[in-house]
Amino acid sequence: MLNIGIDIGGTKIAGGVVDERGEIIDQLRVETPVDTTELSHAVADMANHLADHHDVSAVGVAAAGFIDKSQSVVIHAPNIAWRDYPLRQTLQALISWPVTIENDANAAGWGEFRFGAGRDVDDMVMLTLGTGVGGAIMIDGELFRGGHGIAGELGHVRFIRDGRRCGCGQNGCLEQYASGRALQREADAIADEGGERGRALAAVRAEKGSISGPAVSRLVLAGDAGAQEALLRVATALGEACGEFQAVLDPELFVIGGGVAQLGETLLQPVRIAYETALPGYGDRPVADFTIAKLGNDAGMIGAADLAGRILVESRA
């Protein structure tokens, strides 16, 4: 069975035809329109173009936002003007194949669970460190969506009471302390401190006007003390949060994805240390493994396609 997966990003829409092994056999990318009507037509045009060239069964669409339990309505989206928006109905009117919509982090987590880093476990948590922190939870081999369909928003667990203001409207959310944007913020703070530790970061900011995530990563790998301190702060926040998630969800595996995850073990080592210090009963209980996501930017596309196929099969049973 071939299915189409489409991942709607803030700047790009990525779509592909995915087979039952999670392999992408054809794909397209276009810019994300600002207008919601144009966006829906762009997604439909991509799906129809791919379907015209392959014998596909279903279309899965991954989008950032709160998706209702029926997987039909986008209740709230952070970067697109969707509020109680009937996305599935809108797309189904433009696409001849069955359409499923899913939260983008859930889709990426499912992709990693089925075909990537989590394929050998039954209980897994994925955290994606990008502009924010995306979360996905797999329990007993199933994607956990919760009573209203919007479970797994782990980046919006309150990490610091009365902490930094978050785009969700609350204060102190984890994503303000453990995301790619948080890494840049910590790098800026260290550059502002002056002294030898912040010298390289300050030099990058003076030259480029800002300190990008990739720039911090390059300095981390080069052994710069200031960049390594910025990473340590972010990794510590992430590890402490994972200790708390372990107490509630007890996963076998944490999979870390997103741009910051490209640092691999350089990131995971301090994450594990912070996790151990935050874990209730550490030393007397089983602990989770940590690993880096394997599917990269294709995880959402692959996961959305597989979920669409899975839902189609279940509907016919």
Kindly give, in sequence order, each residue whose CB lies less than 8 Å from that of residue 37, ignoring residues fewer than 6 positions away: none
> Which ranges in the chain belong to alpha helices (H)?
36-53, 87-92, 104-115, 175-178, 180-193, 199-208, 213-221, 225-249, 265-278, 299-316
Q: Lowest-pLDDT range, 15-19, 81-85, 109-113, 266-270?
A: 81-85
Domain match, 204 and 287 both: yes
Q: Please state, in angstroms and rounded to a whole number, the distance separating the CA atoms of residues 287 and 246.
A: 8
Q: What is the pLDDT of residue 41?
A: 97
Domain match, 145 and 259 both: yes
Domain match, 60 and 131 both: no
Residue 147 lies in a domain: yes
Q: What 3-state class would DSSP assign to 91?
A: helix
Q: Please state, in angstroms and rounded to a whole number, the distance separating the CA atoms of residues 50 and 210.
A: 39
Q: What is the pLDDT of residue 67?
A: 95
Q: Please state, in angstroms and rounded to a whole number, the distance separating the CA atoms of residues 304 and 306.
A: 6
Domain match, 126 and 238 both: yes
What CATH number is attached to the domain comprising 83?
3.30.420.40
Domain match, 88 and 138 both: no
Residue 282 lies in a domain: yes
For the segment 26-35, the average pLDDT, to the nearest whole number, is 95
Domain match, 160 and 74 both: no
| 4 beta partners | 17, 59
Domain match, 309 and 283 both: no
The string of pLDDT tens digits covering residues 134-182 is 999 999 999 999 999 999 999 999 999 999 999 888 999 999 999 999 9
pTM confidence score: 0.94
Domain match, 281 and 187 both: yes
Residue 157 lies in a domain: yes
For the segment 32-59, the average pLDDT, to the nearest whole number, is 96
**How many domains are contained in the chain?**
2
Domain match, 156 and 184 both: yes
For the segment 19-30, the average pLDDT, to the nearest whole number, is 97
Residue 116 lies in a domain: no
The string of pLDDT tens digits covering residues 60-106 is 999 999 999 999 999 988 878 899 999 999 999 999 999 999 999 99
Phi-psi category of residue 281: left, alpha or beta, with phi > 0 → left and psi -120 to 50 → alpha: left
Residue 178 lies in a domain: yes
Q: What is the pLDDT of residue 134?
A: 94
The string of pLDDT tens digits covering residues 283-308 is 899 999 999 999 999 999 999 999 99
For the segment 255-280, the average pLDDT, to the nearest whole number, is 96
Residue 175 lies in a domain: yes
Domain match, 92 and 17 both: yes
For the segment 263-276, the average pLDDT, to the nearest whole number, is 97
Task: Identify which of 54, 47, 135, 29 has the alpha carbon closest to the alpha carbon of residue 88.
Answer: 47
| 134 beta partners | 128
Q: What is the pLDDT of residue 52?
A: 95
Q: Is the pLDDT of residue 208 over 90?
A: yes
Q: What is the pLDDT of residue 81?
A: 85
Domain match, 282 and 301 both: no
The string of pLDDT tens digits covering residues 213-254 is 999 999 999 999 999 999 999 999 999 999 999 999 999 999
For the segment 46-73, the average pLDDT, to the nearest whole number, is 95
| Helix, strand and coil percent figures for the chain, each rounded to 5 | 45, 20, 35
Q: What is the pLDDT of residue 274?
A: 98
Q: Is the pLDDT of residue 270 over 80?
A: yes
Residue 115 lies in a domain: no
Q: What is the pLDDT of residue 283?
A: 87
Residue 106 lies in a domain: yes
Domain match, 105 and 130 both: no
DSSP 207-225: HHSS--HHHHHHHHHTT-H
Q: What is the pLDDT of residue 316?
A: 85
Domain residues for the domain of 163 are: 121-293
